[in-house]
Structure 1
Amino acid sequence: MRLRHIEVFHAIMQVGTISGAAQVLHISQPAVTKVLQHAELQLGMPLFERVRGKLYPKPEAHRLFAETEKLHRDLQGIRRLAATLKSRAGETVRLVSTPTIAISVLPAALTAWRRDYAQTRCELATFHTSEIVNALRLGEADLALSLQDPRHPGIEAEPIAQGFLTVMAPSGTWSEAECRQPVTPHALTGELIGLADGDPLGELVVAACEDQDVHPVFHTVVQTYQIARSLVEAGAGTAVLDPFTAASAASAKVQCRLWAPQIPVQLYLLTASHAPLSHGARELANCIGAAARSLLDKGSHEHQRVDPA
């Protein structure tokens, strides 16, 4: 028996008539009769006795009905699941991000995404890039965000926003004219806040300085870009940071200038090569890219303002 045969047979057994089954299934009576006749033809035996236009189930029909009842319950469960998926209530998007992006970009991105995905569950965790790769490979995350391309054969890295390495100092450090010019290694002065050994951006800064025979001294070294930003906002020194952290700083407390030579910094969307994104996850990625680009645009305008003092 085909699934359509079983569906019609089950409806007839439940309501007892062809007309009732047609109403339950939202089809015509001739269609119900035709499907039932085809089912009996394939089975090679009648399932009902027809007496004066009424149907009376044969013993074989009762035995068959007991089995189709189990299938009917399963089909109802499938329909409920399909309805849930359609409404997005059952979908979970698992996102992992480096702390920098989680703090600077994701609040605005998730707010925008929630307008269309109010019922979709989102699980957000913060990892370092090496941990992100493992989470994606093991299927523990659907998508991830990092400022690094891990260059792993099992990971797809898609650039979704780009800025440039930025020098951030306490408000009032530079004149308006100076703010319009990039900062070279030779122009780094005052208390410098460094990034921990092994940090990719920190290594880029040190390498650029050494190329120009400049050897910066960092009396304060931090593990995260957020701590460096907070120290600059508090007036504790100057730091060279990624553009997303710099753009999210309080514009009244800091000034920002591009680093020279100019060094691009990409925001990468990371996914496992074998696992395509769901519609909800892809829309979240789109919102993240838009929020990141908007943040950079906003930051470039706000941090150009200079404290007249």
Structure 2
Amino acid sequence: MRLRHIEVFHAIMQVGTISGAAQVLHISQPAVTKVLQHAELQLGMPLFERVRGKLYPKPEAHRLFIETEKLNRDLQSIRRLAASLKGRAVETVRLVATPTIAISVLPAAMKAWRRDFAQTRCELGTHHTSEIVNALRLGEADLAVSLQDPRHPGIVAEPIAQGFLTAVAPAGTWTAAQCAQPFGPRNLQGELIGMAGDDPLGELVLAACEAQDVQPVFHTVVQTYQIARSLVEAGAGVAVLDPFTAASAVAGKVQCRSWAPAISVQLYLLTASHAPLSHGARALANTIGAAARACLERGAA
């Protein structure tokens, strides 16, 4: 089958009629009929049953539709790219971030970046770090940001901002004097919100507790820092969070104290070692770093 055959066949399968396919493809009904007949002639078999002017796909048509679905999506992508080039779009920047950074840092970064790159297309996705590595290696993303250095030979990890683990409690939990003091393992009492066992920062907190022979009881265990912060904001307990999530909490709803012993948390820019960044992507990376540092400064104010 030729590409035109597949395009017409796919349109008929989607809308169910010759007239509908003609409207979708912006061509005449006789043209659709002619292309379909030619495709069936080349295949040596009919793809549809004609009953009283209606088309009913045969089993072979359904099987063929499944196999041509990916090709049709690729054709649509090519059309979008061609339209983008015609419209003189400079580039597309594909950014992936962990959910924590996507919520706490990226909104401000994207707003600032858009001032200079208003016409550049940006595709933003969220993944965990292991999935980010695969996306970068497979060329499905141009750059990524994460709180973890994956230490992968094909990935370059560049620190762009640094903070420290922070204890967060509902407003009114601590006195002003207590807020000025570090928060350590022996302070982990009452209603505690912990992270799932495979969380790297959560493991550091538990290691610090074990070093002081403290065994905290977490009554609530969550998968993401954002959920933990939302619970704290609602007055549901105390949590130890990354500094970016803690700094972006709703003002007036939480109190923050530095964790002791101090545990550094880096924000990393991740890129594939074989793929240098474009001008727009590098500018976005710089803006993300600036937004992350500004987030930490607001949290410390």
Tell me, yes or no, whether TM beats 0.5. yes
Write the distance in 2 (CA, Å) between the matches of 1:292 and 1:279.
20
Q: Give secondary structure in 2 for the equivalent of 1:124.
A: strand
Cα distance change of structure 1 residues 220 and 83 upon mapping to structure 2, 3 Å threshold: closer
Q: 2:63 maps to which residue?
A: none
Write the distance in 2 (CA, Å) between the matches of 1:102 and 1:224.
12
Q: 2:198 maps to which residue?
A: 198
Q: 1:10 maps to which residue?
A: none
Task: Report the CA distance between 1:82 and its aligned residue.
Answer: 10
What is the correspondence of 1:53-72 to structure 2 with a 5 Å cutoff? none
Is there any run of 5+ residues in structure 2 with no aligned partner, and where? Answer: 1-83
Q: 1:260 maps to which residue?
A: 260
Q: 1:214 maps to which residue?
A: 214
Task: Report the CA distance between 1:282 and its aligned residue.
Answer: 0.2
Write the distance in 2 (CA, Å) between the matches of 1:187 and 1:131.
35
Task: Report the CA distance between 1:137 and its aligned residue.
Answer: 0.2
Rg larger in structure: 1
Q: 2:96 maps to which residue?
A: 96
CA deviation profile, 1:201-230 (whole Å, cap 9, x unmatched) = 100000000000000111100001000000
Q: 2:135 maps to which residue?
A: 135
Q: Is the 8 A contact 2:248 2:295 kept in 1?
A: yes
Q: 1:117 maps to which residue?
A: 117
Q: 1:293 maps to which residue?
A: 293
Q: Give secondary structure in 2 for the equivalent of 1:159.
A: strand
CA deviation profile, 1:247-282 (whole Å, cap 9, x unmatched) = 000120000000000000000000000000000000
Q: Percent identity?
A: 79
Write the distance in 1 (CA, Å) between the matches of 2:240 and 2:172.
17
Q: 1:126 maps to which residue?
A: 126
Task: Report the CA distance between 1:83 and its aligned residue.
Answer: 9.3
Q: 1:284 maps to which residue?
A: 284
Q: 1:248 maps to which residue?
A: 248
CA deviation profile, 1:172-195 (whole Å, cap 9, x unmatched) = 010001101110111122100010
Q: 2:148 maps to which residue?
A: 148
Write the distance in 1 (CA, Å) between the matches of 2:128 and 2:227.
16
Match for 2:217: what amino acid?
V
Q: 2:58 maps to which residue?
A: none
Match for 1:90: what amino acid?
V
Write the distance in 2 (CA, Å) between the matches of 1:97 and 1:83.
28
Q: 2:35 maps to which residue?
A: none
Q: Give secondary structure in 1 for the equivalent of 2:139.
A: coil
Match for 2:154: what amino acid?
G
Match for 2:224: what amino acid?
T
Q: 1:44 maps to which residue?
A: none
* Count, aligned residues: 219
Is there any run of 5+ residues in structure 1 with no aligned partner, and where? Answer: 1-79, 302-309
Match for 1:119: what amino acid?
Q
Task: Report the CA distance between 1:90 and its aligned residue.
Answer: 3.5
Q: Give secondary structure in 1 for the equivalent of 2:218.
A: coil
Q: Give secondary structure in 2 for the equivalent of 1:295.
A: helix
What is the TM-score when the length of structure 2 is the normalising length? Answer: 0.71
Q: Is the 8 A contact 2:168 2:241 kept in 1?
A: yes
What is the TM-score when the length of structure 1 is the normalising length? Answer: 0.69
